[in-house]
Amino acid sequence: MASTAGKTSARVAVHREIRQRIITLQLPPGHPLSENELAGELEVSRTPVRESLLLLAEEDLVRVFPKLGSFVARVDPQRIADAQFVREAVETASLSDAVERRTDQDVEALRDLVDQQRSAAEDVDRFFGLDEAFHQRLLAAGGHANAWRTVEQAKAHLDRARRLGLRTVSPVSVLIDQHAEVVDGLAARDLAAAVAALRGHLRAVFDDVERIRAENPGLFVDSSDERPVRRSITVLR
């Protein structure tokens, strides 16, 4: 018989994997979720899959419909706004400290990440990882590296919107230039310039959401209570 620790470890691993697939759009908004298929792919029993889907439903990343099944939740603009609010509050507050305490090594590390982003502009997944590294390093420059965990936990819904934007509407070069502007403000110890650049960068997701929603309304929550149908929804990659 499997130990309790083993069962817990399997559940955590399954939850993490399914959550990551949802956030990275491998499982796009509206996609039907089969416990049997997921269990087969992940080589586990249905129990940790079922428990993971219930946990993801609590995060509003999955919707469970009795007698119909489970589906990846559609993107909710209000959840995006809430997550962006948390992220902006944390990162701009840290930036204020970073302007005061930043070192040449901080600036050099951030410029290096911007350079790496330019070389990865055609690779969405690599760019997204470097974007995450940039914001995490920016928090570290302000002495708040541990706050990244709070930002990361809050922004699952935001990350789905950001990835949709990277694949469809946001020119990556613009995002990279915005990062460079933040670093320039930090290097010059110009708090107003750095904060303005960071705010503009973080709020760009709202324009992306509106454009994507106009073109693909089925990816987003609407005001109706229409039950989903079991068909796959494709997201351009």
DSSP 148-194: HHHHHHHTHHHHHHHHHHHHHT--HHHHHHHHHHHHHHHHTT-HHHH
Domain CATH code at residue 203: 1.20.120.530
- Tell whether 37 and 21 lie within a shared domain: yes
pTM over 0.85: no
User: Interhelix angle for 35-42 vs 4-23, to 10°?
Assistant: 110
Residue 228 lies in a domain: no
- Tell whether 89 and 168 lie within a shared domain: yes
Nearest CA to 172 out of 137, 196, 208, 206 is that of 208
Residues 6+ apart with CB under 8 A from 1: none
The parent domain of residue 19 ranges over 4-73
- Tell whether 122 and 190 lie within a shared domain: yes
User: What pLDDT does 1 receive?
Assistant: 39
> Do residues 67 and 61 lie in contact, with contact meaning Cβ atoms separated by under 8 Å?
no
Report the distance separating Cα 131 and Cα 129, nearest Å.
Answer: 5
Report the distance separating Cα 75 and Cα 178, nearest Å.
Answer: 25
- Tell whether 41 and 96 lie within a shared domain: no
Tally of domains within the chain: 2
Domain CATH code at residue 68: 1.10.10.10
- Tell whether 61 and 105 lie within a shared domain: no
Residue 24 lies in a domain: yes
Q: Write out the chain's pLDDT in tens, 237 residues.
A: 345 556 678 889 999 999 999 999 999 999 999 999 999 999 999 999 999 999 999 999 999 998 889 999 999 999 999 999 999 999 999 999 999 999 999 999 999 999 999 999 889 889 999 999 999 999 999 999 999 999 988 899 999 988 888 866 668 899 999 999 999 999 999 999 999 999 999 999 898 889 888 888 888 987 555 555 555 444 544
- Tell whether 181 and 102 lie within a shared domain: yes
Residue 98 lies in a domain: yes
- Tell whether 56 and 165 lie within a shared domain: no
Distances (CA, A) of 60 to 57, 102, 144: 5, 38, 28
- Tell whether 45 and 116 lie within a shared domain: no
Nearest CA to 51 out of 76, 19, 29 is that of 19
